Amino acid sequence: MTGRDLDPTLKRLLGSGEPEIGCDECFDQLDRYVELQLAGASADELVPGLRAHLVGCPACAEEHESLRALLELDSVS
């Protein structure tokens, strides 16, 4: 969506329109996606549709944030 700075609520109502995967596939791919991210790899290219799903699904986004944060904590423990 371009050319208009939409209200955040309107953005959440309308969604991005980008191709995205569903919650089950997000869960299946989440471990791989986060490890790719932490390795500096092109996670969004290698796991297409997951980033768009995280934008549209607050619950999956929370779990993504938590998995990433936990692995980061592990890496310094």
Binding site for other proteins (CB under 8 A): 1-4, 7, 9-10, 12-15, 17, 20, 22-24, 27-28, 30-32, 34-35, 56-59, 62-63, 65-67, 69-71, 73-74, 77
Angle between helix axes 23-38 and 58-76 (nearest 10 degrees) is: 30
What's the min distance (Å) between Cβ of 42 and other proteins? 15
20 or 51: CB nearest other proteins: 20
**DSSP letter (8 states) at residue 3:** S
